[in-house]
Chain A
Amino acid sequence: MQSNRTLEIGTGLFVLLGFAALLFLTTQLPASGVKFAGQKVGYHVSAEFDNIGDLKVGSPVTMSGVRVGEVSSIRFDSKVYKAVVNMRIDPQYNEIPEDSFASIQTEGLLGGKYVGISPGGLDSYLKDGSHIDQTQSAIVIESLVNKFFASFANSKGNVGGDSQGTDKPGKGPVKAEPKK
């Protein structure tokens, strides 16, 4: 009888653990927006961006490189055609000026995106439900490169018009520093 009990409890525990693990792998791991560290505290602020790049829920929110919170949700507002990013700020950072500036930046060369907040100068502070008005979108490298080549081609065309126009495109030395 005793060994029967051990057998049943052991098997039950094993099957339970196994299915719990399977459930975790199939539902929690691939899906996003799952809280891992239980109930989070802090206050929420929102900001609108034209382009968030590959910012994800859970990405850090930093001030001067120090983590002060995280991105709690991201949605697309079809009225203003912008991405609305909700951020949860840790409660001890409760004196962030209301006119602060939020920008999406990249960690390292290939790293993930995060939201950086630069403080403004007002005496009133962000509180739960506040909205950050001044934002800068993620810099998309492809569009940057496109812009560079576009302005390079323009300046190249001007320079080519002045000279005899013999130098082949793309082969001559870079003469003009393209400026925006």
Chain B
Amino acid sequence: MNPRRPGTYLLGGVRRLGSVTIFLVQLLIQCVPALARPRLLVLQIYNAGARSLIIIMLSGLFVGMVLGLQGYDLLRRFGSEEALGIAAALGLLRELAPVITALLFAGRAGTALTSEIGLMRATDQLTAMEIMAVDPLRYVAAPRFLGGVIAMPLLTAIFSVIGLYGAQLVGVQLMGVDRGVFWSQTQGAVGLHDVNEGLVKSIVFGLACSLIAVHEGYHAEPTAEGVGLATTRTVVASSVMTLLLDYVLTAAFL
């Protein structure tokens, strides 16, 4: 098969899509029995969520602070610095928190998932489980997938709050926007639907990123090179998928 021919690429893409879809269905079926082993799930929530906490909080703080600086500089031209809180809160809740959290999640937790499962595949651990009549989908893939899906909305919420605090830090403490106005305008302008938009986005991104990471690891070529390639593909596919889905979801919400 000549890999240069465009038809081959197309077919490869379609085949990958089909493989991911089948994998998703198998995974979802295994998610129910996986819930019966909360120990495994807690471990994965810890791996995907708790260990990403520092990087998420640090990123959130600085993203919020930059929003504060840039927003203040822009709004000052119109003499409405008080709107800084609204700009920061809406920007964070709707867009920045879900997208940046998903990108960081793909880089921090997604790669770990892929290489871990890929190495299990390469060292025949998955095969050994199958021989022992233990379904690796149920005991390896499903808890990791669920852990990512549960961790993502929580990480996004933490990112939003810390980011808002960062914007407040710059706007109120550094630039001298009135604190009461900052919060009251923010509270007046932010609705529950804005929070919902961020929440739905983060859940969808969590599903997509976890699915891609687990799938790439599970179907990685069982060699050192294959695991490396699978890890790269996880980051690329997760990032592109996140941004693409973000556009679709934003269009749906507006």
Q: Are B190 and A60 in contact (CB under 8 A)?
A: no
Q: Tell me whether A110 and B184 are in contact in the complex, defined as CB-CB below 8 angstroms, given that A14-B46, A18-B158, A25-B93 are known contacts.
A: no
In the complex, what residue of chain A is closest to B191 when comparing beta carbons?
Answer: A30
Contact across chains for A21 and B49 when beta carbons are under 8 A apart:
no
Are A112 and B183 in touch, CB under 8 angstroms? no
How far apart are the CA atoms of A25 and B161 in the complex, in Å?
7
Given contacts A29-B190, A29-B195, A30-B187, contact A11 B45 (CB under 8 A): yes
Judge whether A144 is part of the interface by a CB distance below 8 angstroms.
no
Q: Is the CB of A32 within 8 A of B178?
A: no
Which residues of chain B have C-beta atoms less than 8 A from A11's C-beta? Answer: 42, 45-46, 49-50
Instruction: Let me know if B119 is at the binding interface, CB within 8 A.
Output: no
- B64 shortest CB reach to chain A, Å: 13
Are the C-beta atoms of B45 and A25 separated by less than 8 Å? no
Given contacts A15-B154, A21-B154, A108-B80, contact A67 B187 (CB under 8 A): no
Of all chain A residues, the one with the shortest Cβ separation from B51 is: A10
B188: chain A residues at CB < 8 Å are: 32, 54, 56
Q: Looking at the complex, which one of B46, B178, B198 makes contact with A10 (CB distance below 8 Å)?
A: B46
Q: Which residues of B contact A37 (CB under 8 A)?
A: 179
B178 and A13 contacting across the interface, CB-CB below 8 Å: no
Secondary structure at chain B's binding surface: helix, strand, loop or mixed? helix
Decide if B82 touches A107 in the complex (CB within 8 Å).
yes
Please measure, in the bound complex, the distance between the C-alpha atom of A57 and the C-alpha atom of B184, giving whole angstroms: 6
Q: How does the 8 Å CB contact mask read for B192-207 relative to A, with 1 for contact and 0 for none?
A: 1011001100000000
Q: Does B74 contact A (CB under 8 A)?
A: no
B157 touches A25 (CB 8 A): yes
Q: Which residues of B contact A54 (CB under 8 A)?
A: 188
CB-based contact B82/A15 at 8 Å: no
With the chains together, A22 CA to B153 CA distance in Å? 9
Report the separation of the CA atoms of residues A115 and B17 in the bound assembly, to the nearest whole angstrom: 61
Report B154-186 CB contacts with A as 1/0, cut-off 8 Å.
Answer: 110110110010000000000000111101111
Within the assembled complex, what's the spacing in Å between the Cα atoms of A22 and B82? 25
Q: Could you tell me if A58 and B180 are in contact, using CB atoms closer than 8 angstroms?
A: yes
Is the C-beta of A51 less than 8 angstroms from some C-beta in chain B? no
The closest CB in chain B to the CB of A25 belongs to B195
The verdict on A36 contacting B183 (CB below 8 Å), with A8-B42, A25-B93, A111-B82 known, is yes
Which residue on B lies nearest to A70, using beta carbons?
Answer: B180
Q: Which residues of B contact A25 (CB under 8 A)?
A: 93, 157, 160-161, 195, 198
Instruction: Give the CA-CA distance A107 to B181 in the complex, in Å.
Output: 11
A58 touches B158 (CB 8 A): no
Q: Which of A21, A30, A36, A57 contacts B161 (CB 8 A)?
A: A21
Q: Do B185 and A112 touch (CB < 8 A)? A: yes
Contact residue among B42, B93, B184, B194 (Cβ-Cβ distance under 8 Å from A59)? B184
18 further contact pairs, Cβ within 8 A, besides A18-B157, A29-B89, A29-B186: A10-B46, A10-B50, A10-B51, A14-B50, A14-B151, A18-B153, A21-B154, A22-B199, A25-B160, A25-B198, A26-B192, A26-B195, A30-B187, A36-B183, A56-B188, A58-B183, A70-B180, A108-B80
Q: List 28 A-B contacts (CB under 8 A).
A: A7-B43, A11-B49, A13-B53, A14-B45, A14-B46, A14-B53, A18-B153, A18-B155, A18-B158, A22-B154, A22-B199, A25-B195, A29-B190, A30-B195, A32-B187, A32-B188, A54-B188, A56-B184, A56-B188, A59-B181, A71-B180, A108-B78, A108-B79, A109-B78, A109-B79, A109-B80, A111-B82, A112-B185
Q: Which residues of B contact A (CB under 8 A)?
A: 42-43, 45-46, 49-51, 53, 78-83, 89, 93, 151, 153-155, 157-158, 160-161, 164, 178-181, 183-188, 190-192, 194-195, 198-199
